[in-house]
Amino acid sequence: MANVVVVGAQWGDEGKGKIVDWLSERADVVVRFQGGHNAGHTLVIDGVTYKLSLLPSGIVRPGKQSVIGNGVVIDPWALTDEIDRLQSQGVEVTPDNLRIAENAVLILPLHRELDGMREAAAGAGRIGTTGRGIGPAYEDKVGRRAIRVCDLQNADNLDAKIERLLAHHNALRRGLGEGEVDGRALREELLAIAPCILPYMDTVWNLLHSARRDSKRILFEGAQGIMLDIDFGTYPFVTSSNTIAAQAASGSGVGPDTLGYVLGIAKAYTTRVGSGPFPTELHDATGELIGERGREFGTVTGRKRRCGWFDAVMVRQAIKTSGISGIALTKLDVLDGFDEIKVCTGYRLDGEVVDRLPAGQGAQARIEPVYQTFEGWKDTTAGARSWADLPAQAVKYVRQIEELIECPIALLSTSPEREDTILMRDPFEDHIR
């Protein structure tokens, strides 16, 4: 049986939460391995909506072990708020079913403030971050000045760590014309939140090693999407972590041989939040209609998502850089009723047709989509649970997508409800590469 890695194959917001929840019923352990509380996963279970940012989607399933890995940056105040919110909805969250990596980096108030200051100062050149301090926290991690979960155990060692951290941050703040951070106040904030976080702390790499030794099924849950990867995304309009499947290993402390089937999630169209290139974006009534039907607003930010046609070039590239074994295609029902549907099959760059997204920011801004047009369907796909329930043209569209992205469709989602899912290949059982 394969362990499964779930990653977004576009710019995030592909519907990973529902798919991970659907898979978690068959998993024993669910692991978040990168990102922060800028992620937003919406689950609809028995008519109840759960909105998650930091917690793995498996947390809403009784009997599942949820894990936040070392690759995640954790805002301890946001985490406690999320735990409280879920508990108020009747979800059990205790140290028995949630463990947090001792070496995970903390997001502090000064990170959120710096995020906002930089975006404000950048003006038209802003990247479009969520303003939650994710990027600055990752900067401190690689700068070797971060405060980690395990540091909350020892109050005596905090002073030196805070001093080192503020030597950097207060210099930045002075340069931006802002007041300095009070080290004593920060220390008190950390000591106050520590009792809320430390009961969940664990040596996650060892926990996962034990789970693997005991033949437990592990589900690795990614956040954002591959085209927001710090190395392979539309840089600099990207997130601050690696979002490709390989990060599941380094972001949780397991070897790459632990990773089995890689399931990529992609919408039947394309969306993006924030700034950056978007070759297939629609600035017309069709784009507005897709956004309305798909309820395309960010789970975390509430920001309106930009909408466009399916980009097969981008998804094919994501499949290659992440070693994706199969795709879960979501929101097919949003395309019901269109007379024709377009798919981007190539890019025109400086008069030449290319089959990849170039790395350069200037080149990305100049590319134009090359479309292939497909016949739409009038009957509904909403709520379909088998191929027999789908209109013939919808089946044809899915099969043509498979050919264009050079990867099989493993799952098909036809509504936010977890039961409205058509299974073609079982990620936990399918070892085909």
Catalytic annotation, residues: 13, 41
CA dist 150 to 104, 154, 206, 274, 287, Å?
A: 8, 8, 15, 34, 47
Cis peptide bond N-terminal to 56, omega within 30? no
| Parallel/antiparallel/unpaired status of strands 421-423 and 409-413 | antiparallel
The sign of the dihedral angle between the CA atoms of 220, 223, 225, 229 is: negative
How many C-beta neighbours within 10 Å does residue 120 have? 11
Residue 271 CA to residue 366 CA, distance in Å, equals 19
Estimate the share of the chain in helix, then strand, then coil, as percent rounded to the nearest 5: 40, 20, 40
Q: Supply 119's token pair.
A: 């975006």
Give the strand order in the sheet containing 218-221: 201-202, 98-101, 65-68, 29-32, 218-221, 4-8, 261-267, 326-330, 409-413, 421-423
The answer to whether the beta carbons of residues 357 and 317 sit under 8 Å apart is yes
Q: For 409, list phi and psi in degrees, rounded to 5.
A: -85, 115
The answer to whether the beta carbons of residues 81 and 37 sit under 8 Å apart is no
